[in-house]
Amino acid sequence: MCPGGAWGAMRAVHVVALGDPEEALEIRDVPVPDPDTDEVRLRVEACALQHADVFARVGHPELEPSFPKRPGTEVAGVVDAVGADVTDHAPGDRVNVYHHFTCGECEFCERGEQTMCPHDRKLGGDRPGGLAEYVTVPAANLEPVPDDVDLVTAAAWPSSFTTAWRMIVSAGGLRPAESALVLGASGGVGHAALQLADRVGATVYATTSTDWKAERAAEWAEAVIDYTAEPFDERVMELTDGRGVDLVAEHVGEETWQRSIDSLATGGRMVVCGATSGADPDVDIRSVYQRHRRIVGAPMGSRSDFRAVGRLIARGEVAPTIDRVLPLADVAEGHRAIEDREVFGKVVVKPGE
C-alpha cells in the first residue's frame, strides 16, 4: 500500500476562503508528495498551530488572498523517503524543521541571518505546510529530535521559542540584573519569552487577561498584570518604583504600542516580533528619543538561534506548554480556541489521528 492510502492519497488541511474556521477550513484528499533530489518526505506526527495559520483564514495585509492554501509551519515527524542526493538522513529518522528556506548565498545568509534573506520562503506560507499526513522539505532544514523528546513537544517549539529567543537573548540582550515585561504571556511566543526571560535570571513581569492565565504565567513572572483591568504601563511603573523595565517583548502592536514604550526605563529597548492587533499605532516620538529608548525588530530567529533553543528543550531547561492535542478532524477547534484567546501555550494537531 502506498503512503496515506491505496492510491498514494493523504489528508491535508486547506484554507479555502476567508471566514470562520468551520467554513473556511477543509480536509481534502490529495496526492502524497514525492521528494525532490535534495528533499525528504516526512510522515507528519505533529504540527503546532500559530497565529499565522489564523491570519491565513481571517486575512492579513501581508498575505495574498489566494486559495486554497495549506498551512502548518511548526512540524515534527519521521523521515519516510529521501531524495536521490540526500545522504545525511534516512527513513526512520525523528526530526523537526527549521521552516525558513533560503538561498544560502546572499550577504544575509553568509552572515547566518537566514530570515533576512530576500529569497526566504516559509513552510506553510510560500509552500505547502505540515497540516497534512505527509510533507516534503529540504533535507538541509532538518534537525534531529532526541529520543527522550516526544514529537508533540518537538513540533510545539520551533517557531515560537526561536522567535522568543531572538527577542529575549540574541536581539534583546537581556541580562540577569535587568527586568522585562512580556505582553500576551499566554500565547505561543509570549509564554516562550516568559520562560526564557526567567531563565536568564531577569525580573519578569507579564500581561494577560484572565485569572486562570495569570495563575499559569505566575510560574515564571514576578507579577502578572491584567491588562483589561488597569493600564499595564502605569502598573509597571508602580512595580518598579517609577523606573520602568529594561526590555519589553512586544508582539501585540497597535493596541499596546505606546503603553509598551511608556513601560520602558530610560535607555530601555522594545523588541518587536509582530502586530496582531494592527500595524498603524499612534506614537509619541519624543517618548522614544528623549528617554534614549530603542525599538528593535526581531520577527524570527536564525538557524543558530533555532539550534540554541533546541538544546535547552533537549535538556529540559525550558519546554512548550501544550494546551491541547487534537486530531486532524478537529483543526477548526484549534483555530477557534486561538482566535478566541482560550489557549495558554500551544495547540498541536496530530495529522495521523
Query: What are the grid coordinates assigned to 219, written together?
Result: 510560574
- Residue 126: the pLDDT is 87
Q: Do 9-157+320-350 and 162-297 show the same overall fold?
A: no
In the chain, the largest separation of any two C-alpha atoms, in whole Å, equals 68
- Residue 4: the pLDDT is 45
- Residue 220: the pLDDT is 97
- Residue 72: the pLDDT is 95
3-state helix, strand, coil in the chain (%, to 5): 30, 25, 45
- Residue 61: the pLDDT is 65
Domain boundaries, given as residue ranges, for the chain: 9-157+320-350, 162-297
Average pLDDT for residues 9-33, to the nearest whole number? 96
Does 3.40.50.720 match the CATH number of domain 162-297?
Answer: yes
Q: Is 80 exceeded by the pLDDT of residue 230? A: yes
Express each pLDDT in 89-123 by its tens digit. 999 999 999 999 999 999 999 999 999 999 999 99
Confidence band for 3, pLDDT divided at 50, 70 and 90: low
The mean pLDDT of the chain is 94
- Burial track 137-163 (b if 16+ CB lie within 10 A, e otherwise): bbbbbbeebeeebebbbbbbbbbbbbb
CB atoms inside a 10 Å sphere around CB 204: 30
Q: Which of 344, 348, 342, 338 is nearest to 56 (CA)?
A: 338
Statement: the pTM of the whole predicted model exceeds 0.85: yes
Q: Is 80 exceeded by the pLDDT of residue 7? A: no
Name all contacts of 24-30 with Cβ < 8 Å and 24+ positions apart: 24/57, 25/57, 25/331, 25/332, 25/335, 26/68, 27/328, 27/329, 27/331, 28/68, 29/5, 30/132
Confidence band for 8, pLDDT divided at 50, 70 and 90: confident
- Residue 64: the pLDDT is 72
Q: Which of 70, 198, 237, 43 is nearest to 134 (CA)?
A: 43
Alpha-helix residue ranges (DSSP H) falling in the chain: 21-24, 51-58, 107-110, 151-156, 158-165, 188-200, 211-217, 232-239, 257-262, 286-289, 303-315, 331-339
**8 and 31 Cβ atoms separated by less than 8 Å:** yes
Q: Is 60 exceeded by the pLDDT of residue 304? A: yes
Superfamily of domain 9-157+320-350: Medium-chain alcohol dehydrogenases, catalytic domain (3.90.180.10)
- Choose the weakest-confidence range: 227-241, 271-285, 308-322: 271-285
Q: Is 80 exceeded by the pLDDT of residue 144? A: yes
Can you tell me the distance from the alpha carbon of 321 to that of 216, in angstroms, rounded to the nearest whole number?
10
